[in-house]
Each structure stands twice: as C-alpha cells, then as structure tokens.
Amino acid sequence: MQQIDEVCPLKVIVVGAGLGGLSAAIALRRQGHCVHILESSSFKSELGAGLAVPPNTVRSLRGLGCNIDNLKPVDNLCFTAMAHDGSPGMMNNMTDYGQAYGDPWVMAHRVDLHNELMRVALEPEKTGPPAQLRLDSQVASCNVDACTVSLVDGTIYSADLIVGADGIRSTIRSYVLDAEIDIPPTGIAGYRWLTPAEALEPYPELDWIIKNPPLGARLITAPVRRNDSIEQSGPAPISEKADKRTIIIYACRNGTMLNVLGVHDDPRNQNEVGWNVPVTQESLLDFFKDYHPRFKRLLELADNVHLWQMRVVPRLETWINKRVCLLGDSAHASLPTLGQGFGMGLEDAVALATLLPMGTKVSDIENRLVAYESLRKGRAEYVAMESFEQQNIPEKRGLYLRSSMMRDEIMGYDVKAEAEKVFKELMTSTDKVTYRPHVDCLW
C-alpha cells in the first residue's frame, strides 16, 4: 500500500531584506511556505542608485508575479561607447533583445525595484502566505546544527531552513563555512551619483545622453594608455598601467533620473578607507580632467557624489551546511560589469524555491540544498569571474558586448526550467502527499 504523508509548509528564515532576500521570500511563499525575514536596518531612509535589469532578470521577476511597470523602467536599446576625447566608439544594438530573449533589457532605480519586491513579498493577496518582515533585527550568530539564529538582543528563532541573503558582509556565511572569509580589496572603485534629467535641459551639448536615438547606456572610455608611471632618476618610466577609467550613464525612473558611475583603479589603500564615502565634486572633476569638455558639463552637474569600493566575494568552498544556505551577494557578490549582480541572486531564489515545493519534508532539505548548490554555484561564479576580468584585464574589456555567444549563454538562460529539470530527476519516490496548511503562519 502506498504511504500517504501529511505535510506542512516549511518554516523558513531569510536573513536580509535586500533585493536577494525579498526575492527568496517571494519565491518560497509562492510555494506555500511560511517565511520570516530578519532585517538589521529600519528602512527609514531611501538609498540606492541605478540598476541593470537584463532579459533573464526580467523573465524571473515576471515569474515571481512582479509588475515590471512598477520599476519605472527605461528601455536599454543600445550600448554606445565614446572615447574620452569625444570621438565615437563601438555601438551594440539591443533593439532585438525582446525578440531574441523573450524580454527586453531595462534600467531601473534600485529603490523602485526594492519597493516592488517588498510589495509582492508582503501583500496578503499574492500567492501563498505573505512573508513576515521584522526590521531592526540584527542576526548575531547561527547554530547550523539546531537550524537557529540568534539576534543581538538575545532572541532566538528556529526554522526548517535558513537562507543567508545578508549581502557581501554576510554574518551567515562564516557559519556555513565554519570559517571567517576575508573580502579582499580589488583596487577598483566607482564615483556614483544621480542627476535629474531636467538638469540637462539647458545644455544642448548633453542631448546625446537622453535625446539622441537609439537610447540606452552610454560608456565613455579612457585613453588607450594613461601615464601612471613610476619614474626613476631619468625621464623614462619603468612601468605603465592601462587606464581603466570608464563612465557609464543611463536613465531610470521613467527617464526622469540619470544614474552615473565612474569606474576606475582606486589609488587609495582600500583597507584604510570606508567602502562607500562621500567625495567632493572638485575631486571628481580633477580625476577626469583630461576628458573632453562635452563630458565635463555632465560632471559639473554632479551632486551628492560617493566613492564606492567594488569588492567581490572570492570563490567559496561551499554555499550550504545542513539546512542553512547562502544566496545572492553573500555567496557571489560581483562587479557590475555585466549587469548581472542582482540577476544572479534572483536566479538563486527561483532555483531554491523550485527545488523546495509544497510537500518537501524537513528530512529532504539537505539533499535539496546539495542540488541547489550544484545547479547554481558554477553559473554564478562564472558570471562573477567574467565581471571582474572584463573590468580588470584590458584584452577582455567589452567582451560581453562583442560576444553574442556569451550573451546568449547568460541572458538566454531560463533558471526556472533548469531547476524543474533537476527537481524531476530528484523525484524517484511515488509516495503521495497531502497538504495541511498553516492557518496563520505564526511561529
């Protein structure tokens, strides 16, 4: 006789209510599980900047029930490159991406994306029990064996599954690995700021940014070589570094806001300065003083400029330990070079939830996490590696825009379909299950 098991939704703790944590909460609630999100901040201030949302990311967002219009998106129809002296460079036409990949590449503001994910995670009307969000709840430690987390105030929460989506400075990561992992400096940083689009109106010399079609991201590249030389007792330099300064500009918030990022090699000792610090407009202008006057006008409009260190998580030995796993930046934080940072974390969330449908027993979770890591780790780490190398290795710069094969591999990927294939392979038992829902999902 077939055994009939009565099952309940899993109790899941998601540590971190950033983009990855909210994505995980949505994906898991849609499977019927009870999700509690623990977030250390209070969300009292609006933070963030522009964000790339390429086709594979749009596809996954739609699959989670997000309304892309709520992101106030701007279509990214091309990447247009120009040299620092104003001369034209390469243009990558992206007007056919919607047809090629089923969804377009759009640009959004991080806060608008966060707000939409929050809505879909918490609204009662959505599929599955709404996630419960606890703010000002900083996790101090995790007991992997007991599957519990302790807050700094001493409160202990237990769960069937713990998801560490707490970012590049993750607390959960050291408990998964049973070791502290250093996040070393990359020597790369970026000047970052937002400018209202209306501020450009008086300056026709800036029409090339948001008025001249095809519209999309603009990349301003540095001179081929820049004399960053160390001189001996004579005029001849003993070394010369490639100049990797690049200014990336694109619109977001329905075209009302410009996101600007000036990526460069950081001359500072990154271990002795903050990861994200305010800087003056004067220092920004001085750093790009050899750029053409048509670009200088844009820099003169910069306000509230921050200098952001770009660090990456080194390849980890594992993302999983018993019933605790890592997701998103805690596992594979990368540079923004390919525009896939959030997208990889979103794919993690979709894959994880697909492998944990309603009917999953607590005793199944460890094996499902092995499958999750097997499905996700290689792809996410490949994207992170390419993001770093295509910024840092001169010969690889721009490879993503030049290689249709690489774009197809990354943006043509359907994580939901791939996870369903893996899940089907896991299902060898014919045991039937019945669902007994929690009435209120209170713990």
pTM strictly above 0.75: yes
Strand 139-143 vs strand 148-151: parallel, antiparallel, or unpaired? antiparallel
Return the pLDDT at 301. 96
Return the pLDDT at 20. 98
Look at residue 79 and give its three-state secondary structure: strand
> Can you list the residues of the chain whose pLDDT is less than 70?
1-6, 44-47, 224-241, 429-443
pLDDT in tens, 168-203: 999 999 999 999 999 999 999 999 999 999 999 999
Cα angle, residue 382 at apex, residues 380 and 386 outer, rounded to 5°: 120
Nearest to 298 by CA among 200, 194, 424: 200
Give the domains, in start order, of the chain with CATH numbers: 4-50+107-183+313-435 (3.50.50.60), 188-226+238-309 (3.30.9.30)
Return the pLDDT at 238. 36
Look at residue 385 and give its three-state secondary structure: helix
Q: What are the tokens at 111?
A: 């806060």
Please state, in angstroms and rounded to a whole number, the distance separating the CA atoms of residues 221 and 244: 8
Nearest to 415 by CA among 345, 367, 361, 335: 345
Please state, in angstroms and rounded to a whole number, the distance separating the CA atoms of residues 14 and 436: 23
Return the pLDDT at 86. 86
Q: Residue 126, Cα to own-chain centre: how many angstroms?
A: 24
Please state, in angstroms and rounded to a whole number, the distance separating the CA atoms of residues 192 and 74: 19
